[in-house]
Amino acid sequence: MAEATVAIVINKSVAIKALLEGERHNFQENISWIETQMKTLQSYLTEVVSKNAANFINSIGDLAQDVEDILDTYFLEIESHKTKGPFGFLKHPSCMPCYAVTDRYLSLEMNKVKKIAAEIKQFKCDITAKSNIDGEIWNQTDKFQKKLFGREETVQKIEAEIFIEKKKCRVISIVGTGGVGKTTVARDVYLRVRSKFDCSAMVYVSEESNYGEILFDIAKQVGLRESRMKQNMEEHLYSFLCSKKFVIFFDDVTDKWDVLKDTVMTDSRNGSRIIVTCREQIFSKSVFHLDILNDSEEKELFYNLILPTPEDTLSVVLKNIGDKIVQKCGGLPLAIEVAAGLLRAKERSERSWNELLERMSEGGANDSLKILDLSYQDLPAELKPFFLYFGIFPANCEMSALELIKFWIPERLVVQLDAGIKPEEIVHAYVDKLVARNLIQVSRKKSDGRVKRWRIHRFLHNLCTRKAEEINFFCNWDNLRNADVASTARIVVTNSSSSLSDNNLQNFAVPRKLRTLHCFGKGMELANFIKTYASELRFLQFLTIEVDNIVINIPVEIANLSGLLNLALKGQFITIPSSIQGLKKLQAFEVRSREVPENILKIKHLKHLFLTGVVILNSIIRDRHHELEVDLPNLESLHFDYQYGYHLGRSSFKKLPSFRTLVIVGAEMQTLDGLSCTRPFPQKLEDLKLRVNPINRGDDIPTLDLSRYENLQWLYLYFDSSVNITCSLEFPKNLVRATLGRICTQDEDPLKKLQKLPILKVIKLKKCIAGTMDFSGQNKFPQLQILMLSDTLFDQVIVDEIGMPKLSKFIYRNHPHQTSKVPEKLEKVMVERAEVEYVA
């Protein structure tokens, strides 16, 4: 908890300093002192490794929490003064005594803080600090592609079982204890066989995964049309799968199979297969059991992870120590991977390795998973809160950089100090450090090789939750029965197993210092809690309610959460009151519901809006093709997935002058026209993603003219149609990435317009129809590095040694009716699409 709170306080002090820039009063002096002192305390936490330092670390955490309370209390006062303008005391004379009172109380509180800080500094002198150890520094390696050791024969048997001559849909299950490598084996098999099927899907299942989300994930991966996913999805998905030869991989399906089988176990006889991993055997046929690795297999795995290149070697002494460390891992691949990740982060020295071996041997018990605890203890102080935060999410769920940004930025774990560095890049940097230690598993990669999605093993997830509760980083709702825990709780998580109910609300202490509340289940009870206690939760800044098929009426009292900055409401049957517009500090709002009030499109202070649902218009206007009324002058990102023909058009875009990211799923022709013709253009737009509603052959497609969007760098344009569309496109000159889907390029070839763009690095064509694609010639595609052709039918591709001089990767997935071959130049840099999207 200490590491996280100190980091949060530093980031909050930076934000408040920015708010006070240009003003002179004691606020600035005190805030600057807080920033400096917290950075000093942060360095203390990095240095201290003594086992007897728990009281010292706790004292730092307690002080940081007190300072956070001070900042949050007085930040509200400072902000209220600030909103009156730089000369607010002239317009509002009452503001002068308010400033004086706030300043005086802040000074009194700061005197107490400085006294405690001095005591901590003295305490630190008695703590043994970590000494520097000389040794060879490890080379950082990106070993995202896991190799199988000792499982090759099992993989071959599973493949043979999949392709056995039986047309009926069959289940192949892989069973084994936790950490034995079930997921690695099953995913490897899946990637080997998926190209032999019409469609495929890979789904990670967690205890908190709801049925609708799982089906949506399958539908999206197998290629069910967007329009069919919005209504009667279960029925449409079943019909779709009946007509296909499919393969689906479910990871950890033990607790969910009974509710999934009726949809995925079709009656068709197309040779479809379902691969599942289970902790316990739940099927009687086609079962494969995984045992722990033997001595030679576990050593092979360990040293493959330890040594970055085949030429790299270890001394005899280190090899002997390494063998003993491997033996302590008990043949579990998970334990071996974590041990290797821990050692890679250390100096390659006899002292470092022996220290780990001794710590693994303490207590005498041969606990193969002890290494997980040791790896956490060895994490740098600044990384611990990021690792612990993964324990908040349901086990085994996948997470993307965008999802982590939604949590880490508002929590002040990450602050964007440099406008040139995107938050996504900051998040990637932190997560990559955890990946290097094998604490976070890579599940999917992008075309450029960067990690796209992560997940955390169940055992490591358990470690996160246990450590988080030990240090009060976050707690489960049930812990609030303890008044002492409730009085200091900053982050509270509820899930389906929490005992929260309307009948026992009185048995819980109100966590009045609560900053973050995540609800994964029990939404109805939480709504009643908000109705009763909203006015007492003045520090609450982040609220998530995520439920399945439950009717929940969010109470109007939600507007009393005066400090709320981020709100996420996810559930098909969540009803949202119009009072939501009264949340004056709300900056980010995510809504996934069938019914959404129109007035959320007029919350002028919003910066980020993620909207999925049916927008309810004014009762007088029910026109299916009515343009939405929008007034969001400060909005920076808009993710919009709407239904029933409502659209954004010219007048809408005029009210979005600040947005940098626009994602629309279900875009209408009026949207394309509006983006092309809006005056003035939204010049700040950097990232545009459009998935256009179904279009019939012969429909009039307006020209999409983006040539005046000088800051637009990323473009994704996909027509959700059964026919390929001929669309005239004008591209911005500074485009870096272009993805086009279901576009016919035979008559109106967009490649001719892309070839001269000076900084274009990535082109992806998905399910397109092309004639001759010419990439040859001088000055054509001068910066292109990645080219993808996925299910794209073409007559021929022309390349030479001059065009595309910087091409380094050609990603290819063959169209079923493709007869022409790709040129040799592309074959040399070709990778299968599966190698990019998934990691074995």
Please give the Cα distance from 816 to 618 (Å, whole number): 48
Q: Report which of residues 302 and 40 the model is more confident about.
A: 302
pLDDT of residue 589: 93
Give the angle subtended at the CA of 555 by the CAs of 554 and 560, to the nearest 5°: 115
What confidence category does residue 575 fall into, taking pLDDT thresholds of 50, 70 and 90? confident
Confidence of residue 417 (pLDDT cuts 50, 70, 90): low
Bigger pLDDT: 783 or 3? 783
User: Contact, 767 vs 794, CB < 8 A?
Assistant: no
Task: Kindly state the average pLDDT of the residues 420-431.
Answer: 78
SS3 for 172?
A: strand
- Work out the number of other CB atoms within 10 angstroms of the CB of residue 481: 13
Q: How far apart are CA 72 and CA 597, in angstroms?
A: 31
Mean pLDDT value across residues 617-642: 72
pLDDT class for 77, splitting at 50, 70, 90?
low
Predicted pLDDT at 840: 32
What is the C-alpha separation between 360 and 367, in angstroms, rounded? 8
**Burial tier of 60 (Cβ tally within 10 Å: 0-12, 13-18, 19+):** buried
pLDDT for position 782: 94
User: Which residues sit opposite 326 in a β-bridge?
Assistant: none
Residue 587 or 266, more confident: 587
Between 255 and 201, name the one with better pLDDT. Answer: 201
More confident: 747 or 570: 570
List phi, psi (to 5°) of 575: -100, 125
Q: Do the beta carbons of residue 634 and residue 607 sit within 8 Å?
A: yes
Highest mean pLDDT, choosing among 75-89, 151-165, 219-233, 697-711: 151-165
Q: How far apart are CA 356 and CA 810, in angstroms?
A: 43
The answer to whether residue 620 scores a pLDDT higher than 90 is no
782 exposure class (CB count in 10 Å sphere: 0-12, 13-18, 19+): middle
Stretch among 63-77, 213-227, 559-573 having the lowest mean pLDDT: 63-77
pLDDT value of residue 12: 78
Q: Any idea what DSSP says for residue 318?
A: H
Work out whether strand 441-445 and strand 451-455 pair parallel, antiparallel, or are unpaired: antiparallel
Per DSSP, the residues of 227-283 read HHHHSSHHHHHHHHHHTS-EEEEEES-TTTHHHHHHHHS-S--S--EEEEEESS---
Predicted local distance difference test score (pLDDT) of residue 573 = 76
Say what the pLDDT of residue 282 is.
Answer: 80
Instruction: Please tell me which residue, 26 or 80, carries the higher pLDDT value.
Output: 26
Of 145-159, 497-511, 693-707, 725-739, the least confident: 497-511
pLDDT for 738 equals 95
Question: Prior bond to 385 cis, omega within 30?
Answer: no
**Amino acid 616: pLDDT:** 60
Going by C-alpha positions, the residue among 192, 248, 186 that lies closest to residue 217 is 248
Q: What is the mean pLDDT of the chain?
A: 80
CA 263 to CA 633: how far, in whole Å?
44
With cut-offs at 50, 70 and 90, classify the pLDDT of residue 87: very low
| All residues at 6 or more sequence positions from 139 whose CB lies less than 8 Å from its CB, including other chains | 308, 312
Q: Find which of 17-26, 55-64, 609-618 is predicted with most confidence, using mean pLDDT.
A: 55-64
pLDDT > 80? residue 518 = yes
Of the candidates 316, 326, 325, the residue with the CA atom closest to the CA atom of residue 352? 325
Q: How confident is the model at residue 175 (pLDDT cuts 50, 70, 90)?
A: very high
Query: For residues 718 and 492, what is the distance between their CA atoms, to the nearest angstrom?
Result: 40
Tens of pLDDT, residue by residue over 319-365, are 999 999 999 998 999 999 999 999 988 888 899 999 999 888 886 55
Instruction: Give the residue among 157, 137, 511 at the shortest CA–CA distance from 345.
Output: 137
* Distance in angstroms (rounded) separating the CA atoms of residues 796 and 817: 13
pLDDT band at 167 (very low <50, low <70, confident <90, very high): confident
- Residue 799 confidence (pLDDT) above 60: yes
Strands (E), 350-438: 399-400
What is the average per-residue pLDDT within 46-50?
A: 57
Q: Given this model, what pLDDT does residue 82 score?
A: 53
Q: Counting beta carbons within 10 angstroms of the beta carbon of residue 300, is it exposed (0 to 12), middle (13 to 18) or buried (19 or more)? A: middle
pLDDT tens column, 812-828: 888 878 888 889 899 88
> What band does 758 get if pLDDT is binned at 50, 70 and 90?
very high
Residue 507 CA to residue 469 CA, distance in Å, equals: 20
Residue 806, pLDDT score? 93
Q: pLDDT: is 142 or 298 the higher one?
A: 298
Is residue 131's pLDDT more than 60?
no
Helix, strand, or coil (residue 671): helix
Whether 137 shows a pLDDT value over 70: the answer reads no
Q: What is the DSSP letter of 148?
A: P
Give strand pairing partners of 517: 492, 543
- Could you identify the residue written with the tokens 């007048």? 651
Question: Looking at the predicted structure, is the pLDDT value of residue 251 above 50?
Answer: yes
* pLDDT at residue 627 greater than cutoff 90: no
Residue 646: per-residue pLDDT: 65
On the question of pLDDT at 138 being above 70, the answer is no
How far out from the chain centre does Cα 573 lie?
24
pLDDT band at 108 (very low <50, low <70, confident <90, very high): confident
563 pLDDT higher than 60: yes
What's residue 781's pLDDT?
A: 94
Residue 70 pLDDT exceeds 50 = yes
Cβ–Cβ < 8 Å for 697, 721 = no
pLDDT for 142 equals 45
Q: For 152-171, what is the mean pLDDT? A: 88
Q: What is the 3-state secondary structure (H, E, C) of 309-373?
A: CCCCCCCHHHHHHHHHHHHHCCCCHHHHHHHHHHHHCCCECHHHHHHHHHHHHCCCCCCCCHHHH
By the 8 A CB rule, do 447 and 762 touch?
yes
Confidence label for 146 from pLDDT (cuts 50, 70 and 90): low
Residue percentage of the chain with pLDDT more than 90: 18
What is the per-residue pLDDT for 421? 74
| CA distances (Å), origin 511, targets 417, 476, 559, 568 | 31, 12, 18, 20
| Average pLDDT estimate for 115-121 | 78
Task: Tell me the Ramachandran region of residue 613: left when phi exceeds 0, alpha when psi lies from -120 to 50, beta otherwise.
Answer: left
Bigger pLDDT: 838 vs 222? 222
Burial of 131 (0-12, 13-18, 19+ CB in 10 A): exposed
Tell me the range of 410-419, 454-463, 690-699 where mean pLDDT is highest.
454-463
Residue 17 pLDDT exceeds 70: yes
Identify which has the larger pLDDT, 181 or 404: 181
- Give phi and psi for 685, each to the nearest 5: -60, 125
At residue 78, the pLDDT reads 59
- Spell out where 295-450 has E strands: 399-400, 441-445
Specify the pTM. Answer: 0.78
- 747 pLDDT tier (thresholds 50, 70, 90): low
Higher pLDDT, 199 or 226: 199
Q: Which of 159-168, 471-480, 802-811 has the lowest mean pLDDT?
A: 471-480
pLDDT band at 206 (very low <50, low <70, confident <90, very high): confident
